[in-house]
Amino acid sequence: MLLAVDVGTTQLKAGLFDRAGRLTARAEAPLALIRHPDPLWHESDARAWIAGLSHVAAALGVAGAGPIEAVVVSGNGPTLVPVSADGVPLAPALTWMDRRGVEEARIVSERCGAPIDPTFYLPKALWFFRNRPRLYEQARWFFSCPEYVAYVLTGVPATFLPTPQFTRYIWEEPLISALGMDPGRFPPFVPSGRILGAVSAAGASATGIPAGVPVVSGGPDFIVSLLGTATVAPGRACIRAGTSEGINLCSRRPVSDRRLLCLSHIAEGCWNVSGIISTSGKALEWFRTAAGRSDGSWESLFAEIEAVSAGADRLLFLPYLAGERAPLWDPLARGAFIGLTLNHGRAEMLRAVAESVGFAIRDVVEVMEEIGLSVQDLRITGRPARSRVWNQIRADITGRRILVPEAEDSDLAGDVCLALAALGEYGSAAEASEAIVRIGSVCEPVAERTRLYDELFALYRESYRGLKAVFEKLSTPRSAP
């Protein structure tokens, strides 16, 4: 059996799989963000990741489930936590949503000559260096999320590297030194899909996973989702739906456009062109709570959305509740309802929030097409992918088929692809992906609704341009009178 683990923003999930990629058991544990009054700060308790892993290991009965051939861990990123020499987190982890390092990102960008967002790893480390110098001196390692979990399991410090080009967006030793920091505090790179070590006695005690089980280097959640949706051939794109939304296109050629990220793909000879939306599922969760619906089921929520006509009675929402990454890269962007009237109620507002995610996806897809790329279909993964209603909204707004894999947790399925490659079952993780991933259902766009959304999408884009200066002023602190 193979144990796949993914550390998300709001839950840690794990599954036991056989070598054919079939899920035999699944468990999850809730995780929570640490609330902070500053809207740019988004933190998480790294100790909860280990507690969550211990919980799911017990729920799966890992200790008595028979031989575990390997465990592989993926997780959300870029999330960063400073850790002491004895493996104890010294501060809350700065999550992938955390944008406090605006000034640090500017410094890093100037040094490396490329746009680096405040959410990336190095601006976060630089923020600790500049703003928490005593804590920085105490830190032995700076770990991302899955690497910290793997370190607790094995005692081996590592930074998972999906492809060599990722160092530009993680860290590079000359740049670390140029910024005045110590490269020795940043774990060495290990390629994704390699046996990192074995679960130690201490790791077994902390997690309940038997000592001696090989631990395979995983990677960031968006990388394993590419494998778990078979987004390993040109023209295929993956929507990684969840708290945030990542759109990743497999391309035959690299591109250079500041609105998108372009890295070598884990599938050899291809490129991963991507755009990341900061708050998608998080936006719907926010409105659900704000509207007093947090006690209701998600099924009833989507039934309410479905009861409202496409276009939400010409109401728009900008889902920039934690700034926005692609294609705007604007940390000061804010959320906004546009077009409210006395005729609009909670149901229309709810649908507008759900539709805003489709518009944000289309914004990224249209930028891809503007620079000559082909987006043939959109494969979706994550908890929001369970909603037929939301999948149909995405299909109608983008005008593309939404393909839903049989494996509901494609990040876990992608972990399995890495494990199978590491164990020699397949020549590569991409080869394993083509072999074990199957599509379960397809959502076709409805042309009439797509034509309606064409007009609203143009207004969606225009709304941000018109409000950009307002957002900047709202984000500038003012002294109380």
Residue 283: CATH number of its domain = 3.30.420.40
Q: 105 with 123: CB under 8 angstroms? A: yes
> Which of 194, 220, 246 is where one domain is finished?
220
Kindly give the pairing relationship between strand 245-251 and strand 236-241.
antiparallel
Q: Is the domain of 436 the same as that of 296? A: yes
- What does DSSP assign to residue 23? E
Q: Is the domain of 419 the same as that of 444? A: yes
Q: 385 with 441: CB under 8 angstroms? A: no
pLDDT-based confidence at 293, cuts 50/70/90? Answer: confident
Q: Is the domain of 329 the same as that of 477? A: yes
Residue 323 has a pLDDT of: 93
Q: 209 with 69: CB under 8 angstroms? A: no
> Which of 175, 202, 220 is where one domain is finished?
220
Q: Is the domain of 387 the same as that of 449? A: yes
Q: 244 with 97: CB under 8 angstroms? A: yes
State the average pLDDT over residues 152-174.
93
pLDDT(480) > 80 = no
* Predicted structure pTM score: 0.83
Q: Is the domain of 49 the same as that of 185? A: yes
Residue 27 has a pLDDT of: 97
- Nearest-5° Cα angle at 187, 181 to 188: 110
Q: How many domains does the chain have?
A: 2
Residue 194 has a pLDDT of: 96
State the average pLDDT over residues 340-355.
97
Q: Is the domain of 213 the same as that of 243? A: no
Residue 479 has a pLDDT of: 57
Nearest residue to 277 (alpha-carbon basis) of 238, 327, 236, 318: 327
Containing structural domain, residue 172? 2-220
Q: Is the domain of 54 the same as that of 187? A: yes
Residue 128 has a pLDDT of: 98
State the average pLDDT over residues 297-310.
95
pLDDT tens column, 66-76: 789 999 999 99
Nearest residue to 383 (alpha-carbon basis) of 262, 206, 221, 254: 221
Q: Is the domain of 233 the same as that of 213? A: no
State the average pLDDT over residues 282-291.
94
pLDDT(124) > 80 = yes
Q: Is the domain of 237 the same as that of 189? A: no
Residue 164: alpha-carbon gap to chain centroid: 20
pLDDT tens column, 426-464: 999 999 999 999 999 999 999 999 999 999 999 999 999
Q: Is the domain of 312 the same as that of 424? A: yes
Using CA atoms, how far residue 28 sits from 7, 78, 148, 381, 409, in Å, is 10, 22, 19, 16, 11
Q: Is the domain of 372 the same as that of 290? A: yes
Q: Is the domain of 143 the same as that of 69? A: yes
User: Hey, CA dihedral for 385, 410, 159, 210, is it positive or negative?
Assistant: positive
pLDDT(396) > 70 = yes
pLDDT-based confidence at 114, cuts 50/70/90? Answer: confident
> Which of 166, 186, 220 is where one domain is finished?
220
Structure tokens at 217: 């280097």
